[in-house]
Structure 1
């Protein structure tokens, strides 16, 4: 009879039965909030290739181009609001079902949904602010934009004169060691791992679902399109994320 149970219903039952859930999110959870999926056909990376970290560091021209692209996208990011998918995950954190949210997203929407920062593990950083690559000082996007519009050049750190970059992980840049270790620890501790809105092709981050599965956790993949890891999952739900997760907002602890 289990095969006759609707996938969304089975997911809800698995969530009820689990005690230590890790949610792993990718771009798909945010497309329903209007944030573009950069890798999809028609996405930003099909129109302009991403700037490699070494090119950003070595070229003032590339830094200026990176900031131009950032400011062009800023209205889209600022207009985005957490959707039912984000709200459902936040609710599961609030009632103690979800221990950690590991995310590949840089849009700050998990924080905006009310999830405490210490429960969110950002593997690719956060685009809502910037940091100096030399001294680590935080810089606000609005301040950088004001300077950029005045000079047309990427601004330097106001403290040490170093290179300032959005607090994200670019192509060619090393993954954040602390966040990777936290993600691994959370993955090995969970009894249910739910991958939401991710194509599961970007490594090493995409290795976490299999790590959880091999450690005995249940594995659920919620994604509109098939992934290479579907064959390893206990449950695959191919539907709109907000529709699938929305009912969980009413779940009791």
Structure 2
């Protein structure tokens, strides 16, 4: 791409949901075979009120984190395609509903990834807000601490994710809204577009004149607004789409 073309390149916003990470071995929570449908009790482990008030829920949550594949997962072809588009000179911003950190592991700069639901790779104290690496907390669990407390103040530790019953970070959401309004192409990939307020970003993009492209196996509520619907497997469909976008600009 020439420098002149780079200056004219459209801003591409990519809203990613659980479907982009299934090829990395991370299960979809809300799909037909999703965790919440298979095991409704599991939802308690990521519900703030249960987590804060029930030590047994916290103990089970730590075991779930310890056994989770998410922190051992690696980026797949879809994550790599997003990074490839960004490195080609096209302005890209990722807005993700995922907490797995795979966009960054694939090489996307931190500042270009907005994590609407936080990150599972960090723990945060619910009292003093001190943050540390999840790996450190899990090492304490492996050493025998069933419900590790904050080392700074003794408060309850939780993953730095937005649990059910918690609101999104208003700063992160505000930045996502600003990117959505400014972009010329908005790609929603691997998301059911049913969880608000993230889902409404697709409608907001279309309302502000962006070309809305939805890449998802199942229909979404925003399909009627899309300029293009892609139902093919994400691992091959997203790289093909983003390569086509790069060629267009």
User: 1:223 and 1:116 mapped to 2: Cα distance?
Assistant: 25
1:18, distance to aligned residue in structure 2 (A): 5.7
Aligned to 1:24: 15
1:65, distance to aligned residue in structure 2 (A): 1.4
1:249, distance to aligned residue in structure 2 (A): 5.3
CA-to-aligned-CA distance 1:167-190 (integer Å, 9 cap, x gap)? 111100111111100000100111
TM-score, structure 2 as length reference:
0.88
CA-to-aligned-CA distance 1:101-151 (integer Å, 9 cap, x gap)? 000001110001100000000001111121112222222223222322344
Q: Is the counterpart of residue 173 in structure 1 residue 166 in structure 2?
A: yes
Q: Is the counterpart of residue 118 in structure 1 residue 107 in structure 2?
A: no
Matched ranges for 1:88-167 at <5 A: 88-167=81-160
CA RMSD of aligned residues (A): 1.8
User: 2:142 and 2:10 mapped to 1: Cα distance?
Assistant: 50
TM-score, structure 1 as length reference:
0.87
Q: Which runs of no fewer than 5 residues in structure 1 stay unpaired?
A: 1-16
Aligned to 1:193: 186
User: 1:96 and 1:154 mapped to 2: Cα distance?
Assistant: 46
Please say if residues 80 and 106 of structure 2, whose CA atoms lie closer than 8 Å, have aligned partners that are also in contact.
yes
Q: Which stretch shows the higher mean deviation, 109-118 or 152-161?
A: 152-161
Q: Which stretch shows the higher mean deviation, 165-174 or 151-160?
A: 151-160
User: 2:228 and 2:209 mapped to 1: Cα distance?
Assistant: 15
User: 1:183 and 1:60 mapped to 2: Cα distance?
Assistant: 35
Q: Which runs of no fewer than 5 residues in structure 2 stay unpaired?
A: 1-7
User: 2:9 and 2:217 mapped to 1: Cα distance?
Assistant: 24
Q: Is the counterpart of residue 228 in structure 1 residue 214 in structure 2?
A: no
Q: Structure 1 pair 187/18, CA: closer, same or farther in 2 (3 Å)?
A: same
Q: Secondary structure of the equivalent of 1:50? A: helix
User: 2:11 and 2:243 mapped to 1: Cα distance?
Assistant: 18
User: 2:54 and 2:221 mapped to 1: Cα distance?
Assistant: 37
Q: Is the counterpart of residue 68 in structure 1 residue 59 in structure 2?
A: no
User: 2:35 and 2:131 mapped to 1: Cα distance?
Assistant: 26
1:212, distance to aligned residue in structure 2 (A): 0.7
Q: Secondary structure of the equivalent of 1:22? A: strand
Aligned to 2:210: 217
CA-to-aligned-CA distance 1:71-99 (integer Å, 9 cap, x gap)? 121xx224422111111111112223243
